[in-house]
Amino acid sequence: MSTVFSTPQPVLLPVAGLEDRFPVRRVYCVGRNYAAHAIEMGHDPNREAPFFFQKNPDNLLFENENFPYPPLSQDVHHEIELAVALKSGGADIDAAVALDCVYGYGVAIDFTRRDLQAEAKAAGRPWEVAKAFEHSAPISAIQPTDRIGHPSHGRIWLNVNGVIKQDGNLDQMIWKVPEIIAELSRLFVLAAGDVILTGTPAGVGAVHRGDRINCGVDGVDTLSLTVV
Ligand code: MN
């Protein structure tokens, strides 16, 4: 069927070791999934139900691309996160089999306009303006599970201009990857191509134009970019 204007191609992430790419359908994010980060943001670190928000697939920024500082904010923060890339989905997925849905993992940053998020929180408004802006989610190539397995522990870290800012471990996640998939699938019907950012450890902070960011998840990948 013809369309009234040309149809945009889906976002196609590189896959480590393959020519084939990973077509992105949706991007979900988990809030406050490391206790030390919940505390630094002024929240109770006790295990409350996970909550979610979304970014847009075309907010993803590919490896080797620089991050353009976004407009209308003076306080853009880095949040290093493990990304989970799904090859299948469904509704009401049992946590015991949830990892069967995972194609691979990546390293991502959930860039956040913290000042706009604070305004949204105070006004009881949604978070999109703080979270789902252009280029707000740099992400590495996807590392298939047949190369790296399912990482459940390992250092998750980020440095700015060579100074370590975030230094946590995947085993500090309040909600583990299978539980995240299970909970999310109670709210939404998940499908192949969905990418889930699983929350950030403590140490979030502001970035500035010219900053060089290096980050990674041990056993998964690294990611480097400059704020421009
Ligand atoms: Mn985040």
pTM of the model: 0.97
Alpha-carbon distance 137 to 107, whole Å? 10
For the chain, the domains span: 12-226
CATH 1.10.3720.10 fits 12-226, yes or no: no
Please give the C-alpha separations between residue 52 and each of 2, 10, 128, 149, 197, in angstroms, as whole numbers.
36, 23, 12, 25, 10
Span from the CA of 137 to the centroid of ligand 1 (angstroms) = 10
Span from the CA of 7 to the centroid of ligand 1 (angstroms) = 30
Span from the CA of 81 to the centroid of ligand 1 (angstroms) = 7
At 42, list the tokens. Answer: 């002024």
Q: Which range, of 16-30, 43-57, 210-224, averages the lowest pLDDT?
A: 43-57
Tell me: pLDDT of 46 over 80.
no
Mean pLDDT of all residues in 50-68 = 96
Instruction: List, in sequence order, every residue forming a beta bridge with 217; answer none if it has no partner.
Output: 156, 221
Span from the CA of 6 to the centroid of ligand 1 (angstroms) = 33
Tell me: pLDDT of 47 over 90.
no
Span from the CA of 49 to the centroid of ligand 1 (angstroms) = 16
> What residues pack around ion ligand 1 (CB closer than 5 A)?
79, 110, 200
**Could you read off the pLDDT of 189-224 as tens digits, one per residue?**
999 999 999 999 999 999 999 999 999 999 999 999
At 2, list the tokens. Answer: 């013809």
Mean pLDDT of all residues in 43-62 = 90
Work out the mean pLDDT of the chain and round it to a whole number.
Answer: 96
